[in-house]
């Protein structure tokens, strides 16, 4: 298996993504773009990317903050705010990562899925709302998505969002609003999995290190959501 960090540039920012792919054959394989959490590239996201490669996918974790690292500073939050306010910025950074992935010989451009964590889940939904050619989008503990009901009408991908009931970044009212926008837009295939009593960041074993209220790892929910994600990938882009 080939595992490497790949530097690239977007919006004059030096990005470093993480590629994992079985390069023992040149045969095209289903392709997964992974989008990291809102505080940057984590060990968890890199490990997930490598696990996808072991399962037979061509996988690339894009970088949308710069440096291929984690950061919790004013620059990070300013960049996140910019992407939340202007979806085209988020889409441009997603597109750049997708291009890196599809440049790989083994990546099948007709079988692409997106898997995102926290703001990375928002990026996945932005790709779907922006008309990207992706078969499915899986989001784990997504952040708050700006309400633009008309954009949902462009979605053709299957959508799965995995959310904890106690997530302070996606409240019950916000979940209900997301459901209503998906219904109003007649999105054909979507699902919200809601985990009782669970907060934000439940998939990442290192979540508690952030020291934020409502953010904690929960192994059963992490495992259940991963099984659901793999099932949707299998349905939409194949094993």
Write out pLDDT tens, residues 71-116. 777 777 888 888 988 989 999 999 999 999 999 999 999 999 999 9
What pLDDT shows up at residue 68?
86
Name the least confident of 20-24, 96-100, 146-150.
146-150
Task: Please answer whether residues 48 and 34 qualify as being in contact, where contact means their C-beta atoms are separated by less than 8 angstroms.
Answer: yes
Cα–Cα separations (whole angstroms), residue 138 to 73, 163, 213: 27, 11, 24
> The tokens of 217 are what?
């790892």
Report, in angstroms and rounded to the nearest whole number, the Rg of the chain calculated over CA atoms: 16
* Measured distance CA(171)–CA(166) in Å, rounded: 7
Which H or E run includes 191?
strand 190-195
The answer, yes or no, to whether residue 153 has pLDDT greater than 80, is yes
The answer, yes or no, to whether residue 202 has pLDDT greater than 90, is yes
DSSP state of 189: S
Question: If you search the block for the tokens 């700006």, which residue do you land on?
Answer: 146
Pairing of strands 13-21, 58-62: antiparallel
Question: If you search the block for the tokens 């920012």, which residue do you land on?
Answer: 13
Q: How far is CA 66 from the centre of its chain?
A: 16
Write out pLDDT tens, residues 30-66. 999 999 998 899 999 999 999 999 999 999 999 999 9
């Amino acid at each position: 298996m080939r595992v490497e960090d790949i530097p690239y540039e977007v919006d004059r920012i030096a990005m470093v993504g993480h590629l994992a792919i079985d390069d023992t054959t040149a045969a095209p394989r289903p392709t997964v773009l992974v989008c990291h959490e809102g505080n940057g590239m984590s060990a968890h996201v890199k490990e997930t990317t490598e696990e996808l490669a072991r399962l037979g996918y061509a996988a690339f974790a894009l970088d949308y903050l710069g440096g291929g690292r984690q950061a919790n500073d004013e620059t990070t939050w300013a960049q996140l705010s910019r992407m939340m306010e202007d979806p085209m910025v988020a889409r441009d950074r997603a597109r750049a990562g997708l291009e890196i992935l599809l440049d790989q010989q083994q990546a099948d451009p007709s079988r692409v899925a997106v898997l995102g964590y926290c703001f990375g889940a928002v990026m996945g939904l932005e790709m779907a709302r922006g008309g990207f050619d992706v078969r499915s989008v899986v989001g784990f503990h997504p952040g708050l998505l700006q309400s633009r009901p008309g954009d949902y009408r462009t979605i053709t991908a299957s959508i799965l969002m995995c959310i904890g009931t106690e997530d302070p970044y996606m409240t019950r009212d916000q979940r209900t609003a997301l459901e209503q926008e998906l219904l109003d837009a007649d999105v054909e295939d979507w699902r919200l999995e809601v985990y009782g009593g669970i907060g934000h960041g439940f998939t990442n074993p290192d979540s508690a290190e952030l020291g934020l209220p409502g953010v904690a790892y929960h192994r059963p929910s992490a495992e259940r959501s991963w099984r659901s994600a793999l099932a949707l990938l299998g349905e939409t882009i194949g094993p």
